[in-house]
Amino acid sequence: MKIPGTVALVTGGASGLGLATARELLGAGGKVMIVDRPQSDGETVAGELGANAAFAAADVTSDAEVTAAVRTTVERFGAIHINVNCAGVGAAMKTTSKGGPMPLEIFSMAIQINLIGTFNVLRLCATEMARNTPNADGERGVIVNTASVAAFDGQIGQAAYSASKGGVVAMTLPIARDLASIGVRICTIAPGTFDTPMLALMPDPMRQALAAQIPFPPRLGQPPEFAALARHIVENAMLNGETIRLDGALRMPPK
């Protein structure tokens, strides 16, 4: 799909991987609706990005709020052609420890936001994409989800996070098959260790230790590198139903 003139809805678009993706799509000639939490910097960020960007506050786990964000996008820009899902949370706790079992709420939160939230957004965007006029390849839309290498190499304490991201990976192919009849593609990116606001909270020695684990290049991934892959997925019509690791050949150790 050629990006100029298209409309993208990007969750988690106020920072990190989502913001980098919004910038990439805008730079390629698209229009972007940033969807993020009400307390995020989304309104300010959209204003800084210019007239082809806007902000809709929504909790990705809410049917009503995401439905409203989709409606706002169509009212503002006329359609939705691209959906990139970057909204997510981390969760780290052992299944059981001296303090007792992991609180079920922690596991549920990770699943609710990372997995159910992703599906909530994409199902509503795909329904809107089905109304689009197909391009020369028969495409009506493209969806890009965000998983993690933790879906494959979960570390100690990552049961909840790995399960949520593993679910995103597992649903990629069946959703691609579901949406093939309406000309909508879907792929998932599984990033390794990226320099995002979440990692920025870590002490520098810890950040350097994480970077040293990556075979090549031996550094943290940069959000624009994620955005570049998201753009390529949109532009390459043969990419469908696949999860792509973006990790510098990183394979996470147990801890």
* Catalytic residue list: 161
Q: Give the H or E element holding residue 226.
A: helix 223-235
Render pLDDT for 50-71 as a digit per residue (tens, 0 to 9): 999 999 999 999 999 999 999 9
What is the sign, positive or negative, of the torsion defined by CA atoms of 147, 152, 157, 160?
Answer: positive
pTM: 0.95
- ∠ at Cα 229 (223, 231), nearest 5°? 105
Instruction: Convert the pLDDT of each residue in 176-235 to its tens digit.
Output: 999 999 999 999 999 999 988 877 766 787 778 888 899 999 999 999 999 999 999 999
What's the CATH architecture for 7-244? Answer: 3-Layer(aba) Sandwich (3.40)
Q: What is the Cα 17 distance to its own chain's centre?
A: 8
Instruction: Give the separation between CA 214 and CA 249, rounded to whole angstroms.
Output: 7
Query: Could you tell me the residue ranges of all domains in the chain?
Result: 7-244
Rounded to the nearest 10 degrees, what angle do helices 16-27 and 223-235 cross at? 50
Quick: pLDDT tens for 29-57. 999 999 999 999 999 999 999 999 999 99
